[in-house]
Amino acid sequence: MPIFIFFVNLQDMREDSLKRLAILGATGSIGMQTLDIVRRYPELYRAEVLSAGSRVDELAALAREFRPSLVVIARRELEGRLRAALEPLGIAVSSGPEALCAAAESPDVDMVVTATVGYSGLEPTVRAIRAGKEIALANKETLVVAGEYIRRLMAENPSARIFPVDSEHSAVAQCLAGEDPDKVRRLIITASGGPFRTWEPARIAQATAADALRHPNWNMGAKITVDSATMLNKAFELIEAHYLFDIPAERIEAVVHPQSIVHSMVEFEDGAIKAQLGVPDMRLPIAYALGRSSRLAGVSEPLSLEKMSNLTFEAPDERKFPCLGFARLSLERRGTTACTVNGANEVAVAAFLQGRIPFGRIYSTIARTLERATFIANPDFADYVASNAESRRLAAEELGIALNN
């Protein structure tokens, strides 16, 4: 059974009171673009809670503008600085992972926008599901790390709803609108190919952080941009699509589409393919999620089809992007496999961005960590926590670096 919940009428939404949002990761790319939509539709949305990892000044500036009831900074040692910046405004300030989780399940919040990066988004999303919240899910690692667990949790909490924010999964949802899921032949998840699509494997292996961060189409945070360059981001999206839409893994595939205009496609039994097209602007899928699968006008520039003279598609090259193979491995083995992949990747990408390892070490670090890590076939939440910790420790050992907690 799919865990993505379809279609709420926009008129019904407008008759509701303001939708109170907890935006987890407010100072990041997705969080900032979410706030663009809040600015445009103040009659529909209120930023009730804003959180950030360590960007105190940016978070304080957003709090002054949006006047949330609560702000949360993940790093506890920064709470005093944030509190001092906001003291005259009477805005509550809290810090730490537990404060983030408490915000996600707060009765003062209607929808949680999970826009944090990496494993850190898992527990707040779990707590939001248990509290029966609507969730605009931009944190793909939640389903990558713990997809089976999240499916069980959603079944136990039927009032909870997940609306995908990734452009690819939003596109699939739009293509499935009004369709019989049993008639789906394949999901086709598009990938830009990132900055290294035309490079040879030997050159890719020696790429620098500056090279990897030159994404040709999208403006994203550093970590997800590197994941796009390795195509591990696409591997994660294939895993996420399986859990969101309940389509067997063998019927979900990636195709490289350098222009990033077609965001994904669905092929049906009769051979017809539906595609969702749009400019590469994350405000479109964010608005679709905030609108609960209904459309909000004017959130992005329209697509000019007459200017789209050349839309191309090609198969991904796993010689260049071996990380793509982790999707197949994770969905075959299941259990804690993807959790291990994610934890090792987060350590390796951080080291790469610090200039401590070449690009090619990201893949080899993940592969070696998988060989050494404990595998648990039927994990509970505590097992995911342990697996994440172990994979980070093993990856750090593999790279010969100290692990920053």
Residues 6+ apart with CB under 8 A from 40: 296, 298, 299
Q: What is the pLDDT of residue 16?
A: 55
Contact of 165 with 7, CB cutoff 8 Å: no
CA atoms within 13 A on the CB side of 85: 18
Which pLDDT score is estimated for 9?
39
Amino acid 4: pLDDT: 56
pLDDT of 403: 78
Dig out the tokens for 209 from the structure: 């952080």
Q: Retrieve residue 221's tokens.
A: 């945070």
What pLDDT score does 175 carry? 97
Per-residue pLDDT, 7: 40
Evaluate whether the domain defined by 335-405 bears CATH number 3.50.50.60: no
DSSP code of residue 120: G
Which residues of the chain are modeled with pLDDT < 50?
A: 5-15
**Triad 116, 122, 127: Cα angle to 5°:** 110
Q: Return mean pLDDT, the chain.
A: 93
* Predicted confidence (pLDDT) per residue in 71-112, tens digit: 999 999 999 999 999 998 999 999 999 999 999 999 999 999
273-277 and 262-268 strand pairing? antiparallel
CA atoms of 115 and 50, how far apart (whole Å)? 11
**Whether pTM exceeds 0.85:** yes
Give the pLDDT confidence score for residue 298 in this predicted structure.
86
Look at the block and give the residue holding tokens 């939640």.
Answer: 142
Could you count the other beta carbons within 10 Å of the beta carbon of residue 373? 21
Arch. (CATH architecture) of 10-165: 3-Layer(aba) Sandwich (3.40)
SS3 of 141-190: the string is HHHHHHHHHHHHHHHHCCCCEEEECCHHHHHHHHHHCCCCHHHEEEEEEE
Give dist(CA 266, CA 358) in Å, integer: 37
Domain range summary for the chain, segments of one domain joined by +:
10-165, 167-281+304-324, 335-405
Note the residue count of the chain.
405
Cα 312 from chain centroid (whole Å): 25
- E strands, 236-331, are 252-256, 262-268, 273-277
